[in-house]
Structure 1
Amino acid sequence: MKAVLWDMDGTLINSEPLWEIATYELSESMGRRLTPKLREKTVGGSFHNTATICAAHAGIRLTESDYTYFQSIMFARMRELLANAPINPGVDTLLRSLKDAGIPSFIVTNTTRELAHPAMKAIGADLFAGSICGDEVAHGKPDPLIYTTAARILKTQPHNCLVFEDSTPGMTAAVNAGCIVFAAPNATHDRPQGVHNMHTPSFVGTQAKDLRQWFRAVQ
């Protein structure tokens, strides 16, 4: 195990309820509130994916300028909400354990740099070797590109990376990139083949040595 790659929203921070609020508000601004089932299809995806689902449900077609307009509205709302996004239990201690063990942690998120930066700062930017955001690759999750790019930045191979993800698009991206993937606490149950379950119900009490053991057990 050469590195641990972390999804951010839902995995490191409890931001999914905040994205849920903003997504429902976005759909309402387009004229029709999403159903819970359709909202689930936006989890872990890009803004373009979310806006397209909202527009289709509302029966409207978006131009490129429309996407830009609605993105500005949603991102402004998310900046307000993310200001107080809580860090998931046990995350900070585990990140420090990994750093002390000399194992780099790296954030891999579909969230744009504009929104991800404040959250990373709140978690503790010094705990990470770096990060890559959805607006910095040609295709975000579920495409594997963002994970293969992260591995390349870290000068290693995807199969040497342990990944924590909570969404189906994220898990799909990591599995198809060739990483060792574990479903984070509270992960969706719709998981692609090849995703492993954590040996604990949360990150509380988990240390770097535990992740090494989990990694070796599934290689």
Structure 2
Amino acid sequence: MIHKMSTAKPVNKLVSSVILDLDGTLLNMDGVVTDVLKSFLIKYGKQWDGREALKIAGKGPLEGSAAVIEAYELPCSSEQFLKEISPLYSDSLSKAKPLPGANRLINHLHRHGIKIALASNSSRSIIEKKLSYNKGWKESFSVVIGGDEVKAVKPSPDMFLEAAKWLNVQPSNCLVIEDSIPGVTAGKAAGMEVVAVPSLPKQSHLYTVADEVINSLFDFRPEQWSLPPFEDWIEGTLPVEPWHIGGPVIKGFGRGSKVLGIPTANLSTEGFSNLLSEYPSGVYFGWAGVSKQGIYKMVMSIGWNPYFNNPEKTIEPWLLHEFEDDFYGEELRLVVVGYIRPEANFPSLESLVAKIHEDGRIAERALELPVYLKYKDDPFLSSLFETICSS
């Protein structure tokens, strides 16, 4: 099986409205929650290790609090926990960033006149605060439903049914996009179509009740749900806001290339944990600067590499150039400018290598286009060689 993530069914209903979750679907709350819990647990002589991340995902405030209290054996009630932690949480909300593809999705649906609702287990006041930090979001939603405005939060279908009521549409004509199992369960219980975007790594197998499971919002295809298609894909690639990665090469053109048939350059992820948490796993492309070599086209993966079953997220650039010598120990800088596809599962090393070469051909062609070619002159790359020349 080449790719297990997408499980789209043929469209058999007319979807007229979309209901979106907030935390983990549109907003990356991982860093905020981690920082708040770390500082809060110190008070009780405990150290947050993320063990309850799966249990609190998608839960209401009281349920999530109870899970943390039980896990860390805290001497307080859920109500007391919430009272103490809420101010810390509220003060940190400005640090939450939109997940990749969130602005694109909201703007696309709003521009095409699709009614959008927001349904979150957070309280209405917290939702309003989160929306205030993201320009244009509040105006884009026709309806906003908070967890304190319904009798029961997700996995109860109450807030989704309430959203459909306010949108004046039948539940069967609504598409829900959710990152958590409670949210997916709630959407299906409401009689709606559901696309799951799992926020926790390697958990897609738990979302079998969803109508489709995708890796990230980059991979959402509105046309599969009778909605207007995105118009920003260019020759099999999606432009992304350019971002930089830099650091020493741990493994350059060497042993890896003999297996894969291409110049690989495995990078240390030290210092890039926040960046890696922001970007979904998948195959990207852009430009690579090697300190003693030059600037080259590159395609790269970010993720756990299902074939090799990596325990941690990695950065694996593949330089699209023939090198005579190894480049161990040289400084490598990457400017990432586009996205190709999500991570995939491969039945054999041969099929993995074939797909890598296919990705390379797509990147080779795309990087000749003006929209991507201009970033070859990015100051982040040129400054690498200025440093070398002046030393």
- TM-score interval, smaller chain: 0.7 to 0.9
- The amino acid of 1:116's aligned partner reads I
CA RMSD of aligned residues (A): 2.6
How far apart are residue 171 of structure 1 and its match?
1.1
Any residues of structure 2 matched to 1:13-92 within 5 Å, and which? 13-26=27-40, 29=43, 32-33=46-47, 36-59=50-73, 66-92=77-103
- The answer to which of 79-88 and 184-193 deviates more is 184-193
**Greater per-residue strand proportion:** 2
- The amino acid of 1:147's aligned partner reads F
How far apart are residue 202 of structure 1 and its match?
3.6
Tell me if structure 1 keeps the 8 A contact 2:60–2:121: yes
Partner residue, 2:194: 181
Structure 1: give runs of 5+ residues left out of the alignment: none
Q: What is the TM-score of this pair, normalised by structure 1? A: 0.82
Q: 1:32 to 1:195 in 2, by over 3 A?
A: farther
- Which of 207, 210, 214 lines up with 2:224 in the alignment? 214
Any residues of structure 2 matched to 1:106-117 within 5 Å, and which? 106-117=117-128
1:65-87, CA deviations, whole angstroms, 9 ceiling, x for partnerless residues?
A: x4433212222111122112111
Q: What is the TM-score of this pair, normalised by structure 2? A: 0.48
Tell me if structure 2 keeps the 8 A contact 1:27–1:33: yes
1:70 and 1:176 map into 2 onto residues whose CA distance is 30
Tell me if structure 2 keeps the 8 A contact 1:5–1:164: yes
2:31 and 2:155 map into 1 onto residues whose CA distance is 21
1:155-186, CA deviations, whole angstroms, 9 ceiling, x for partnerless residues?
A: 11221111111111111111111111111264
Partner residue, 1:102: 113
Tell me if structure 2 keeps the 8 A contact 1:13–1:86: yes
1:192 and 1:205 map into 2 onto residues whose CA distance is 18
- The amino acid of 1:5's aligned partner reads I
- The amino acid of 1:191's aligned partner reads Y
Aligned residues: 208
1:32-88, CA deviations, whole angstroms, 9 ceiling, x for partnerless residues?
A: 5566343320111011102212232344675xxx44332122221111221121112
Structure 2: give runs of 5+ residues left out of the alignment: 1-14, 228-391
Any residues of structure 2 matched to 1:127-138 within 5 Å, and which? 127-138=140-151
Q: 1:14 to 1:3 in 2, by over 3 A?
A: same
Is 1:152 the counterpart of 2:165? The answer is yes
Higher relative contact order (CA 8 A, sep 6+): 1
How far apart are residue 20 of structure 1 and its match?
3.3
% identity of equivalent residues: 25
How far apart are residue 127 of structure 1 and its match?
1.1
Tell me if structure 2 keeps the 8 A contact 1:26–1:54: no
Partner of 2:52, secondary structure, is helix
Partner residue, 1:172: 185
Q: 1:25 to 1:118 in 2, by over 3 A?
A: same
